Chain A
Amino acid sequence: MPGTDIRVEEKPKKELTESKDQSDSQLFLDVIGVMSHSVRTTLNAIIGYTEIILDEKLGQISPMQEHALKQVLKNSIETLDTVNSILDASNVETLKVEVLAGSLPLRDALARFERDIILKVLQKTGFNQTKTASLLGTTRRILHYRMDKLKITEESQAAGKGGV
């Protein structure tokens, strides 16, 4: 419409984008939180029952049963480590703050973040390369999900807009 001040219309659009960005971010954290809660609740029962049986509170167990139960325990703990690694990887907000502070270019910060994750997963899995590759794949998928937001943030900073 002639004579309409378009700046008035731009503001709500920007607010809408920021609001969607925040709700996407919250949704992502909510999904991770629900996943973590469900896995931890189930693992609690598995690990607890396994300890009770291994302690022979429900009767004597054979060496073969003991071996099998120890495998259940070991694999349960590995599952928990996987969940914790994903939770660590989801904590990209820390990285976002560093980018905003201008201490590191985005590319360098992501490379450093990925290297830290690789080292952490290698340590947790006893330097098992197959498991590390699998966990790294998950981490990268999460990072790609977050990349757009980080790029937007970096562009905003370059334009002098900044702000977390």
Chain B
Amino acid sequence: MKKKILLVEDHPANIEMLTMGLGFLGYTVTVAENGMEAVEMAAVELPDLIVMDILLPNLSGLEAASRIRSNPTTQSIPILAATALAMPGDMEKCLESGCDAYIAKPFTPKQLAAAIEKLLKER
């Protein structure tokens, strides 16, 4: 059965590219374009994994991850931070907010898929 991924991303070209790339690699992808939408969609869609951008409109990815973690319905969904924030300390902030793993942009769809599989295997 195809794994369901909730892609949280606000950059139009990256939304299209990642939806297409992950789709070709066998995943079903739904998209949330801001943090608030991510929190709501996580509870409704109950995806196998969330790929979370961090700099997002309305609600940051860090806050969204924290809210997803504190909701009993969504708390066990693995969250992979996928962000262009790559300054010292950024990875630690993502992990502290409730993300389970971190991948820095740029990455290819195959590299993202490898990180997704690794996290799914660990959980």
Interface check A43, CB cutoff 8 A: yes
Known contacts A40-B106, A45-B14, A52-B17; A57/B87 CB under 8 A? no
Known contacts A41-B11, A80-B106; A87/B87 CB under 8 A? yes
Q: How many residues of B contact A (CB 8 A)?
A: 21
Contact B21 A33 (CB under 8 A): no
User: Which residue on A lies nearest to B53, using beta carbons?
Assistant: A41
Interface check A157, CB cutoff 8 A: no
0/1 per residue, B1-40, Cβ < 8 Å to A? Answer: 0000000000101100110110010000000000000000
0/1 per residue, B90-123, Cβ < 8 Å to A? Answer: 0000000000000011111110000000000000
B55 CB contacts on chain A under 8 angstroms: 37
The A interface is mostly helix, strand or loop, or mixed, namely: helix
B106 CB contacts on chain A under 8 angstroms: 40, 43-44, 46-48, 76, 80
A-B CB proximity, top 8 nearest: A40-B84, A45-B13, A44-B106, A43-B106, A44-B105, A48-B17, A51-B108, A40-B105
